[in-house]
A and B are shown apart, each in its own frame.
Chain A
Amino acid sequence: MNSLLEVSGVSVSFDGFRAINNLSFQIGPAELRAVIGPNGAGKTTFMDIVTGKTRPDAGRVLFGEKSISLLKRSEAEIARIGVGRKFQRPTVFEDQTVTDNLMMALKAARGPWKVLFWRPGAAEHARVRELAARVGLAEALARKSGELSHGQKQWLEIGMLLAQEPRLLLVDEPAAGMTLAEREQTTAMLVDLAKTRAVVVVEHDMEFVRRLGCKVTVLHEGSVLAEGSIDHVTADPRVIEVYLGR
């Protein structure tokens, strides 16, 4: 199978502590994948490496058909290549309106000169309205995003990620702090997104992962412990030991 993202043999240590140890990971172009693991398993470091925030000591990270190496690139370059990232805490620009937030995320040239002369046309406004409607914020376009509720901010951030049109979406604990209804909506949204792009969901919550109904990768001490369906991995004695044994 052709993979969109291929991580192989990646290791990174912080002050002698091996956060990621010879990790290999692959994901296809339109696939939903959940990454689970106990605290300190290296989930966040894994995302940091893919998005260029952390440089690994060894290994390869290749992206797309042309197998572009992501290792030497800055965060902004990697984002432009097509990797979007959603943080655990909703990070929207609270001082700006929902429209401004979405406009900023909309796929367009990113250089300072281009941005300076860029003005939104009818097509861009329509696209922003469409995105807002998709994440349930159609009525809130003119509001400052700081005024939105926690769940709405999460969705706005997902809307911004959609506006970026990434080919790979990394989502960190999307369900944290959400109400049950919001969780259901988020699950549906993620499943829907994965039809057209690769989505990696990093999650703590087994119940939420079960709902996603996708292939699961279990990380432990910086490497892959098990991979397969949720029932398969939860039946794995090593997984049970890691999750329940201590």
Chain B
Amino acid sequence: MDFLRKNPSVLWFLAILAVFTLAVTLMAPGTGSGAISTSFVKTLGKTLCLAMVALAMDLVWGYAGILSLGHMAFFAIGGYMIGMWQMYARTEEIVITSLAQSPIPPTATEIHQGIASQIFGVVGSSHMPEIWYFAHSLPAQLALVVLVPALLALVFGWLAFRSRVAGVYLSILTQAMTLALALWLFQNDSGLRGNNGLSGLQNIPGLGKVAQETLSVWFFWASALALALAYLLLAWVVSGKFGSVIRAIRDDEQRVRFLGYPVEGFKLFVFALTAVIAGIGGALYYPQAGIINPAELAPIASIYLAVWVAIGGRGRLYGAVMGAVIVSLLSSWFTGGRVPDVPLGFATIHWVDWWQVLLGLAFVLVTLFAPRGLGGLVDLVTGLHPPRRHGAALGPDSGSLQEREAQE
């Protein structure tokens, strides 16, 4: 395995993830001692999904230099796609059970009608929208988890990159994309239950007899596996010439064009690939969260994603994972209301409110003083020191330095 030998951080990452997974399994109520609660297992599983979308963000921003502030839209779309099947299939189970009591066996149309009015009663409709056409089929919806984000990313990316929209304008455009999607989903007649979103996603159709404490561990395993595979894939993608080219695009895309590389094609490829990874992450996240609604596509969600990656350290995959895991866990701890308030006499710091300030401050400090982010700590451990350049950065973007530091 030449690839692993040249990228020792991959083995380290997989080993740490494996140990973490084992530890959680041994402590989870479904499979182990019960030292941690089922809801905490779900939080950890969700965190792994967030780490996955952070990996995607790192590829698209840290490596390819495209500051997309819309990747959480792809994440949410993945959630919606799996949620549609879950709602349909579970409602189908309920409708069939309730109709079984009637003297005449129900027809397929009656069942379909029953499902539609059950799901859409909440938005005052009893009609099944066309976009639910495949909702009865798990394989079809699983395919859509991948296809819808990929297609959206391809269409959006093709329009944006072809017109050579870059930099801050592209970021604004991606914000507009996620906002537009959110506003569309908020409408009741968008066919995805408006602001109610899809709920009851913690119940998996056909697995009604499996307890939540067991199910939570299964989803945790699935999330860990997906994260490991995504990490391996992306580490492989960036290890070769492809990685070289996208980093080059980040630093000087005009020069890359004169080398003969179709820059727009590469950007589109990266954008779509990361959208797919985000979609898969979302499809694993929302069954653990139990509910998805259009607020998940709010522009701020994608900005948080960028903040995680910046704090974790752009341009190195494990940095993104560190940022997402540490910041999102801290965030749920601070906003969980269990952190004691700090009375200062003249004012009291309520962490639920002040956490945002702390996060904002951390972001500014990291950007100013530690552009390598938390990933830079790994350099301290491995004894990799950047040469003193007296303030002059190596390359155009000091925040994006690679694992291999220059030799002096």
A interface residues with partner B (beta carbon < 8 Å)? 51, 53, 74-77, 79-80, 84-85, 87, 91, 93-97, 100, 103-105, 110-113, 115-116, 118-120, 142-144, 146-147, 160, 164
Contact = CB atoms under 8 A, between A and B. Distances in A.
Contacts of B244: 93, 96, 100, 103-104
Interface of B: 237, 240-242, 244-245, 247-248, 251-252, 254-255, 257-263, 265-266, 268-269, 387, 394-397, 400-402, 404-408
A115 B406 contact: no
24 contacts: A75-B258, A76-B260, A76-B263, A91-B252, A93-B247, A93-B251, A94-B251, A95-B251, A95-B395, A95-B397, A95-B402, A104-B245, A104-B248, A111-B265, A115-B240, A115-B241, A115-B266, A118-B242, A119-B240, A120-B241, A142-B407, A147-B407, A164-B259, A164-B260
A110 B257 contact: no
Contacts of A105: 259
A113 B401 CA distance: 25
Contact of B395 (A51, A94, A100): A94
A142 B405 CA distance: 10
Contact of A94 (B258, B261, B262, B394): B394
B240 A116 contact: yes
A239 B407 CA distance: 49
Given A93-B247, A100-B244, A115-B245, A51 B258 contact: yes
A103 B406 contact: no
A95 B247 CA distance: 8
A112 B270 CA distance: 9
A189 B269 CA distance: 38
Contacts of B269: 112-113, 116
The secondary-structure label for the interface of chain A is mixed
A77 B396 CA distance: 26
Contacts of B254: 53, 75
Given A79-B258, A93-B248, A144 B266 contact: no
- Greatest chain B CB density within 10 A among A77, A100, A103 is at A100
Contacts of A112: 242, 262, 265-266, 268-269
Q: Which of B251, B254, B262, B397 has the most CB of A within 10 A?
A: B262
A47 to B, nearest CB: 10
A103 B241 contact: yes
Given A104-B248, A142-B407, A84 B240 contact: no
A118 B259 contact: no
Contact of A76 (B242, B257, B387, B404): B257
Contacts of A110: 259-262
A50 B402 CA distance: 35
Q: Which of B257, B401, B404 has the most CB of A within 10 A?
A: B257
A107 B108 CA distance: 61
Q: Which of A53, A80, A93, A100 has the largest number of chain B CB atoms within 10 A? A: A93
Contacts of B240: 115-116, 118-119
A164 B259 CA distance: 7
A111 B396 contact: no
A95 B255 CA distance: 14
A146 B394 contact: yes
Contacts of B408: 147
A97 B255 contact: no
B343 to A, nearest CB: 48
Nearest to B248: A93
A122 B406 CA distance: 24
Nearest to B266: A112
A143 B259 contact: no
Given A93-B248, A147-B387, 20 more contacts: A75-B254, A87-B255, A93-B244, A93-B251, A93-B252, A94-B395, A95-B247, A95-B400, A97-B404, A100-B244, A105-B259, A112-B242, A113-B269, A115-B266, A116-B240, A119-B240, A144-B394, A144-B405, A144-B407, A164-B259
A228 to B, nearest CB: 30
A85 B405 CA distance: 29
Nearest to B239: A119
Nearest to B265: A112
A143 B58 CA distance: 25
A144 B255 CA distance: 18
Nearest to B236: A116
Counting chain B CB atoms within 10 Å of each CB, the highest count among A105, A146, A164 belongs to A146
Given A93-B251, A96-B248, A144-B406, A79 B241 contact: no
Q: Which 3 A-B pairs have the closest CB atoms?
A: A144-B406, A79-B260, A95-B395
A93 B255 CA distance: 9
A20 B237 CA distance: 44
B360 to A, nearest CB: 29
B262 to A, nearest CB: 5
Contact of B262 (A76, A84, A116): A76
Given A95-B247, A116-B242, A80 B260 contact: yes
B262 A111 contact: yes
A103 B247 CA distance: 14
Nearest to B398: A95
Contact of A79 (B237, B245, B252, B257): B257
A76 B247 contact: no
Contact of B258 (A84, A97, A147): A84
A118 B239 CA distance: 11
Nearest to A106: B241
A94 B396 contact: yes
Contacts of B252: 91, 93
Given A94-B396, A143-B406, A76 B261 contact: yes
